[in-house]
Amino acid sequence: MKKLLITSVCLAAVWGGVCDRAVAQTLEGFARLPADTFAKGPTSGNLILPANGRVPPFDGKQPVQGVSSVLPGPDGDFWVMPDNGFGAKENSPDFVLRVYRVDPHFKTKSGGPGTIDVKAFISLHDPNHKINFPIVADGPTYPGSAIPVDQTIRDQRLLTGGDFDIESVRVAHDGTLWFGDEFGPFLIHTTRRGRVLDAPFPLPGVKSPQNPFLAGGTPNLPRSKGFEGMAVNCDGTRLYPMLEGPLTTDSDQQRLNIYEFNTKTGQYTAKKWSYRMEALGYSIGDLTRVGERSFLVIERDNNEGPAALFKKIFIVDFDDVDAAGFLVKHEVADLLNIKDPNHLGGPGAIFRFQFQTIEAVIPLDRRRLGVLNDNNYPFSAGRVPGQPDPDEFIIIRLDQSLPSLECRDNEHHEGHDDDRHPGRD
């Protein structure tokens, strides 16, 4: 997949100078991973209650669910990253943090099964004790319970949803992986095989209620509002983690902050950008680069099924800021109003991606975007009431092309070590 570069000077021209109306989009590909998809691993779900007809625990297996980030993989495959598992730090200490390699077989107008194969995974692990606070693997029982920690988690010091809530993953200039977390919020640095390389990098001056270093202090970030989206620049030397919610100390509760982090120095820079949500209570789902200075943002309400009213993708440019200091938003796609003339997603002419949480977008080329949902297994039921949602991977075709140029030739990944470069098995 080629990297794309969007020039900010022509954004308004391409989108007709209109910032509050999307051009039409059409469903071009559809694939579904069934809700009850599992991979081998420690027994999970010990601390959750039955939901949507599913009764935990899940003996000797881990749900492949909760897709919150996506990367291109080899041979047309993708790497997809679940989040912390079952939605909270307290109920997810037996959910192992992983990134899965998947192979979608899209249903298109020419046919196709619309299925997704799960081929491999990496697990985040800390054998060298780089994490600078106790993790689930260090204890005899899962926190808040008398259930023994699985021996595999302990022996391999696997990271779990009781340690971090990872919501994004990107590849740095040297091929290593960086994960954005909500509990700190932290940035977590690993090899491409998931081995932790450093102590987590905190965001200076910001702490959530789940921060292990809170020590009785007052958090200034709401629960589960840490790093949700995170983009990376063309040469992989800068990360742009984005908070899902506003700081509690901010007088404008529709403002979300985007920060800049230097992967070479391991430090935040002084740069920061402000993104304004359309309404109070909305959240962002992803921040993904489509150019050196241009990015796609998923913004959504908190509803699912017929109640879902707002699930959109915008494009912003760091050089396009309004008089109030906010990034100017150009609407790219309305995920609740996708034309489906070939009935790939169902019998209707309009396809609705009506999930509560939509947290992964990937540019495939100038006209096509891949979008995936977080199904919150087994809790969300946005498709069929009373049944847990599947993970869906859709391809939407825009009626107007994104303006783009390839990244400059000198912007490339530098590392060549066998313990780097995600997508190489």
- In one-letter notation, the amino acid at residue 288 is T
Q: By the 8 A CB rule, do 200 and 132 touch?
A: yes
Give the whole-angstrom CA distance, residue 164 versus residue 166: 6
pLDDT tens digits for the chain (425 residues)? 333 323 333 444 444 433 444 457 999 999 999 999 999 999 999 999 999 999 999 999 999 998 999 999 999 999 999 999 999 999 999 999 999 999 999 999 999 999 999 999 999 999 999 999 999 999 999 999 999 999 999 999 999 999 999 999 999 999 999 999 999 999 999 999 999 999 999 999 999 999 999 988 899 999 999 999 999 999 999 999 999 999 999 999 999 999 999 999 999 999 999 999 999 999 999 999 998 789 999 999 999 999 999 999 999 999 999 999 999 999 999 999 999 999 999 999 999 999 999 999 999 998 999 999 999 999 999 999 999 999 999 999 998 888 664 665 443 333 333 333 454 43
Residue 413 lies in a domain: no
Tokens of 35: 């809700």
Residue 404 lies in a domain: no
Helix (H) or strand (E) holding 13: helix 11-14
User: Which of 170, 173, 162, 205 has its CA nearest to residue 187?
Assistant: 170
Which pLDDT value is given to residue 404?
Answer: 64
Residue 424 lies in a domain: no
Domain enclosing residue 70, as ranges: 8-398
Residue 405 lies in a domain: no
Residue 333 lies in a domain: yes
Residue 243 lies in a domain: yes
- How many residues are there in the chain? 425
Tokens of 148: 């023994």
The burial class, CB within 10 Å (0-12 / 13-18 / 19+), for 151 is exposed
- In one-letter notation, the amino acid at residue 286 is D
Which pLDDT value is given to residue 407?
Answer: 65
Domains in the chain, number: 1
Residue 403 lies in a domain: no
Residue 131 lies in a domain: yes
Give the whole-angstrom CA distance, residue 130 versus residue 134: 11
Q: What is the DSSP string of 383-422?
A: SSTTSPPPEEEEEEEESSPPP-BPPPTT-------TT--T
* CATH classification of the domain holding 355: 2.115.10
Which pLDDT value is given to residue 173?
Answer: 93
Which pLDDT value is given to residue 24?
Answer: 77
